[in-house]
Chain A
Amino acid sequence: MPDVYFQPAAKTYDAIIIGSGAGGGMAAHELTKAGAKVLLLEAGQHYDPADPKYITQLKWPWQSPRRGASTRYRPFGDFDAAYGGWDIEGEPYTTKNGTQFRWFRSRMLGGRTNHWGRISLRFGPDDFKRRSIDGLGADWPIGYEDVAPFYDETDRMLGVFGTNEGLRNDPDGIFLPAPKPRLHEHLIKKANKNLGITTIPSRLSILTKKINDERGECFYCQQCSRACVAYADFSSSSCLVKPAGKTGNLDVIYFAMAREILTDPKTGLCTGVSYIDARTLEEVSVRGNIVILAASACESARLLLNSKSARFPEGLANSSGVVGKYLHDSTGASRSAVLPMLFDRKRYNEDGVGGMHVYSPWWLDNKKLDFPRGYHIEYWGGMGMPAYGFGWGIEKMNGMFPDRNGAKREAGGYGAALKDDYRRFYGAYIGMAGRGEAVAREDNYCEIDPEKVDKFGIPVLRFHYKWSDHERLQAKHMHETFDRIIMEMGGIPLSDKPGPDSDYGLNAPGEIIHEVGTIRMGNDPKTSALNRWQQAHDVKNLFVVDGAPFPSQGDKNCTWTILALSMRASRYIVEQRNAGKL
Chain B
Amino acid sequence: MKRRDALKGIGLTTLGLAGLSPQIKAAEVLDPVADLAPVAEPDKKKEPWEPYGRTEGELERDAKLFKEQFFNKHELKTIGVLVDIIIPKDAHSGSATEAGVPAFIEFMAKDQPNLQTPLRGGLVWIDAQAKRRFEKTFIDSTPAQQLEIVEDIAYTERKKNGMSQGVAFFSLLRNLTASGFWTSQMGIADLGYQGNVPNKWDGVPDEVLKQYGL
Contact = CB atoms under 8 A, between A and B. Distances in A.
By secondary structure, the A interface counts as loop
A385 B193 contact: yes
A352 B208 CA distance: 16
Interface string B46-71: 00011111010110011001100000
Contacts of A73: 55, 57-58, 61
A79 B51 CA distance: 12
A347 to B, nearest CB: 4
B16 A419 contact: no
B203 interface: yes
A399 B17 CA distance: 48
Nearest to B91: A416
Given A65-B49, A73-B55, A418-B86, A213 B19 contact: yes
Interface stretch (B122-130, B131-139, B173-181): B173-181
Contact of B178 (A55, A62, A390): A390
Interface stretch (A219-227, A443-451, A497-505): A219-227
A186 B14 CA distance: 25
Contacts of B155: 410-413
Interface string B178-198: 111011110110111111111
A422 B182 contact: yes
B183 A67 contact: yes
A493 to B, nearest CB: 19
A124 to B, nearest CB: 29
A355 B154 CA distance: 36
Interface stretch (A24-32, A176-184, A463-471): A176-184
Most buried by A among B100, B190, B192: B192
Contacts of A79: 52-53
A412 B171 contact: yes
A415 interface: yes
B204 A387 contact: no
A65 B29 contact: no
Contacts of B171: 395, 412
A349 B195 contact: yes
Given A221-B197, A346-B211, A383-B193, A414 B154 contact: yes
A190 interface: yes
Contact of B108 (A66, A180, A217, A341): A66
A249 to B, nearest CB: 20
B162 interface: no
B3 to A, nearest CB: 8
Interface stretch (A6-14, A45-53, A301-309, A371-379): A45-53
Contact of A45 (B52, B55, B87, B178): B55
A341 B197 contact: no
A38 B21 CA distance: 25
A160 to B, nearest CB: 16
Interface in B10-50: 14-22, 25-26, 28-30, 32-33, 36-37, 39, 41-42, 49-50
A64 interface: yes
A69 B57 CA distance: 16
B193 A63 contact: no
A387 B155 CA distance: 25
Interface in A220-254: 220-223, 229-230, 232
Contacts of A215: 20
A133 interface: no
B212 A186 contact: yes
Most buried by A among B22, B201, B214: B201
A187 interface: yes
23 contacts: A50-B26, A52-B29, A62-B183, A65-B49, A67-B104, A179-B201, A179-B203, A213-B20, A214-B20, A217-B17, A219-B200, A221-B196, A341-B212, A347-B192, A384-B193, A386-B188, A388-B179, A388-B183, A391-B179, A395-B156, A412-B154, A419-B88, A426-B192
Interface of B: 14-22, 25-26, 28-30, 32-33, 36-37, 39, 41-42, 49-53, 55, 57-58, 61-62, 65-66, 85-88, 90, 92, 100, 104, 107-108, 111-112, 150, 154-158, 167, 170-171, 174-175, 178-180, 182-185, 187-188, 190-205, 207-209, 211-212, 214
Given A53-B51, A79-B52, A230-B17, 14 more contacts: A69-B111, A210-B18, A213-B20, A219-B15, A221-B197, A351-B201, A383-B194, A386-B183, A399-B157, A412-B155, A418-B86, A418-B87, A419-B90, A426-B191
